[in-house]
Amino acid sequence: MNEPMNRRALVGAALTSPLIATAACAQPAATHDNEAIVRRAYQTAEGNVFDVPGFIALFADDAVINLGHAGIGPSAAGNDTFRGEHLGDILHLVARFLPDVHRVLHRVNVAGDTVAIELSIQGTFSRALETPAGIVPPTGARIDAPGADFWYLRDGKIERFDCYILVNTIYAQMGITPDFASAVARARG
């Protein structure tokens, strides 16, 4: 008669499994506290800190910051990429219209040299927003928009930062609504 495996035997069997052993060896243990490095980057980017040199110092020399891939703003270009001396431009971009910007980190997931974060970007729309159509005056509206950030590190430095923001939510909270009529009229030619 076979007896059921107790918890200790089950865990021991799982740990000696070739599949588990391969997975454990596939990802080298991080020698740096990648979560702490990323949290430091957020701290330097806070509106009440705004430490651009401190932010840039956390990045590798060949690092890149990517702002989404779905036409996110706040610039008209949508798919902004920052490198080298321009890594800090992302801080200025947000501070132009949300000078008191704050990020609330809801979930932080670390897998070796990758840190994935679900967050909210909060602040007050207290400075004018420049757009291709003209300047949108500040309304004092409180912004609380969801986002997701993916940080990739190497040797204790940030190699790549991919930032995804629901800019439509930010614009709606600022009182900026899409102009669908103009888009339809333009399409009709």
The pLDDT value recorded for residue 181 is 80
- For strands 59-67 and 157-165, give the pairing: parallel
Strand partners, 102: 122
Over residues 41-59, the mean pLDDT reads 97
For the record, the structure tokens of 92 come out as 């200025």
Chain-centre distance for alpha carbon 167: 13
The pLDDT value recorded for residue 29 is 55
Residue with tokens 């990758």: 114
Domains of the chain: 32-188 (3.10.450.50)
The pLDDT value recorded for residue 130 is 87
- What is the C-alpha radius of gyration for the chain, rounded to an integer number of angstroms? 22
Confidence band of 20 (pLDDT split at 50, 70, 90): very low
130-134: long-range contacts at Cβ-Cβ below 8 A with a sequence spacing of 24 or more? 130/96, 131/76, 132/76
pLDDT digits over 98-115, tens only?
999 999 999 999 999 999
Separation between Cα atoms, residue 61 and residue 49, nearest integer Å: 23
Please report the beta strands in the chain, taking only residues with DSSP state E, as ranges in sequence order: 59-67, 81-83, 102-111, 114-124, 129-131, 134-136, 142-154, 157-165
pLDDT digits over 151-187, tens only?
999 999 999 999 988 888 999 999 988 877 877 887 8
Q: Which residue has better confidence, 87 or 67?
A: 87
Over residues 89-99, the mean pLDDT reads 91
Q: Has residue 16 got a pLDDT over 70?
A: no
The pLDDT value recorded for residue 76 is 46
Helix 7-15 to helix 18-26 angle (10° resolution) is 60
Is the model's pTM score more than 0.85? no
Confidence band of 69 (pLDDT split at 50, 70, 90): low
- Average pLDDT score, the chain: 82
The pLDDT value recorded for residue 18 is 44
